[in-house]
Amino acid sequence: MHMHDHDDDHHHDNHFSPMEARVRALETILTEKGLIDPEAIDVIVETYETKIGPRNGARVVAKAWAEPDFAAWLKQDATAAIASLGYTGRQGEHMRAVFNDGETHNLVVCTLCSCYPWSVLGLPPVWYKAPAYRARAVMDPRGVLEEFGVTLPADRKIRVWDSTAELRYLVVPERPAGSEGLDQEALADLVTRDAMIGTGLALSPEARA
Amino acid sequence: MNGPHDLGGLHGFGPVAPEVNEPYFHAEWEKRALGVTLSCGAFGAWTIDESRHARENIPPATYLAASYYEIWIRALETLLQRHGFVSGAELAEGRMLEKGATPKRVLTAQMVPAVLARGGPCDRPVDTAPRFAAGARVRTRNVNPATHTRLPRYARGKVGVVETVQGSFVFPDDSAHGRGENPQWVYTVVFDGAEIWGEGAAPGLTVSIDAWESYLEPV
């Protein structure tokens, strides 16, 4: 399921893996035709390695924890509230924020492909796009959560959001106890990528320290 | 289509196995695959729905054995050939043999920040009122089109409740096949776990999908 399998299992007479050779060939053809700009690819990669990642979402969550008015706006119009922090665009065009509370835990999946809120979380992890998670999240969310080290109270309801349309979901985890005195940057340190997918919880300040 | 992509509720794939401190990319070619895929998407020659359908059409055994970037590349090769940008002979030889189609635009490095920041909004106005209101009980249609749909198999023929009217959006079942955008209202519909999974459903589970209006019937 992971590309390492391909690297390890195949032995060709050049030093490229089959997928590396395949992508190089494609990039070569498209560049020769003037259809792509290899430097544009560099910029795209650099953007998602350094600019657009889960820190964006963590800042959204921290602000929602700290400012009730922003939390209300986020609940009402997540696209606009998130855009006010400068996070817009590809795979975040139509955002919805869903809030965990003492009654319900939210979990996000895309059973049909790999829909994910790129503008706030960046590129999805491999497991999010792979069959095991996509198959099981909608049927056995507690079992999935156990594999992430998350055990919810037995009476906690679980709502699974299958991203079947163009809405992209950001989970706002519960604010951890002991975080009362922290500023928003310190609060953002408690907000993991997985907490914003629903496969994790926000860190406690002690766990972070 | 009832393709290999429609995975909700399937057994046998084992544990999720999250990777601790997972890197953004696991090989250099994955970076190029991301960039090539986004660059070709910027041609404006196909919709996101057509590209999803190209991925769904990868033969099941191949799809399920492939990493997601491999799925992207295989589908991209299909799209590039279908729209005349690249030929099968060129892919086989790994070099340009003929000129091919000209795209509406070529993504340059300078354009990337603005293009990513804009994205591809797909909300569109419709001149009908929503057929269903929040709180309405609805049944998803029991359909098995061989063409593209975003109604997953596990959620067909099931009764749920409209939670939210989310707005009107391009209809993927048409858009994927070049039949136009034909926007429809989209609803978040919530199902009890037991309605979907029956006996033995996880207690306290609800599952929602975002459903285009024509996926739904009144109950």
- Asked if residue A195 lies in contact with residue A172, where contact means CB atoms within 8 angstroms, the answer is no
Q: Which residues of chain B fall below pLDDT 70?
A: none
The 10s digit of each residue's pLDDT in B108-149 is 999 999 999 999 999 999 999 999 999 999 999 999 999 999
pLDDT tens digits for A129-165? 999 999 999 999 999 999 999 999 999 999 999 999 9
In chain B, where does DSSP find H-type helix? 28-41, 48-56, 60-65, 68-82, 88-93, 112-118, 172-175, 193-197
User: Does B120 lie at the interface with A, CB-CB under 8 angstroms?
Assistant: yes
Q: How many residues does chain B have?
A: 219
Provide mean pLDDT across the span A71-97.
96
Query: What domains can be seen in chain A, in order of their start residue?
Result: 3-49 (no CATH), 53-208 (3.90.330.10)
Question: Residue B207: which of B1, B31, B7, B8 has the closest Cα?
Answer: B8
Least Cα separation, residue B78 to chain A (angstroms) = 12
CB atoms near residue A172 (< 10 Å): 24
B137 touches chain A (CB under 8 A): no
Nearest CA in chain B to A124: B24
Q: What is the pLDDT of residue A208?
A: 78
Topology of domain B137-218 in CATH is: SH3 type barrels. (2.30.30)
CATH 1.10.472.20 location in chain B: 28-118
Residues of chain B with CATH 2.30.30.50: 137-218
What pLDDT score does B31 carry? 98
Token code pair at residue A32: 């020769």
Distance from CA of A67 to the nearest CA of B (A): 25
Cα–Cα dist B210/A61, whole Å:
23
Query: What residue has token string 């609800």?
Result: B206
Residue among A100, A24, A115 nearest B48 (CA)? A115
Flag if A3 and B116 touch (Cβ within 8 Å). no
A77 CB near a chain B CB, below 8 Å? Answer: no
CATH, domain range B28-118: 1.10.472.20
pTM of the model: 0.95
Residue B8 near chain A (CB below 8 Å): yes
- Placement of tokens 């196995």 in the chain: B17
Buried b vs exposed e over A62-96: b needs ≥16 C-beta within 10 Å? bbbbbeeebbebbeeebbebbbeeebbbbbbbbbb
Which B residues, 64 through 93, put their C-beta within 8 Å of a C-beta on chain A? 64-65, 67-70, 73, 76-77, 80, 85-86, 90-91
Tokens matching residue B86: 């690249």
- Classify B49 as helix, strand or coil: helix
The dihedral through the CA atoms of A116, A137, A199, A131 has a sign that is negative
Residues B169, A50: Cα–Cα separation, whole Å = 32
pLDDT of residue A13: 52
Burial of B129 (C-beta count, 10 Å sphere; 0-12/13-18/19+):
exposed
Contact A166 B211 (CB under 8 A): no
B64 three-state secondary structure? helix
